Amino acid sequence: MKIKQDIKLPIDTSAEIIGLGLMSDKYISLVPGSDGKYLNNGGVIEFTQSSLSLESLIGKFIFGGAEKKADSKDNNIELKEGYTDQGRGHNSISDEIDSMNIPG
């Protein structure tokens, strides 16, 4: 990234990637620190943070929910197997679990 030579950035300047909306362009927000020393030409901003994008939140919601459903199905299968041996003639819990509509 190039910055005009007449712009002086303190060493403790922070940078963050920002996006204003779902389909918007992204830009870099620079927040000057308070240190009296300045970055030299070719210097590196140490304090950086990428933005939490709406796209990643939606992905986590969609795929995180799928993982929870899969975990729930596994737990129900374990529950069914645990009760099958104990039921001996009383299959109501196993039948109930079999009737659940759990996506595979």
**Total domain count, the chain:** 2
Are 11 and 37 in the same domain?
Answer: yes
CB 94 within 8 A of CB 83: yes
Report if pTM > 0.75.
no
Q: What does the pLDDT look like over 21-72, one tens digit per residue?
A: 666 777 888 899 998 899 998 888 888 876 666 666 777 777 765 545 555 5
Are 46 and 7 in the same domain?
Answer: yes
Are 30 and 73 in the same domain?
Answer: no
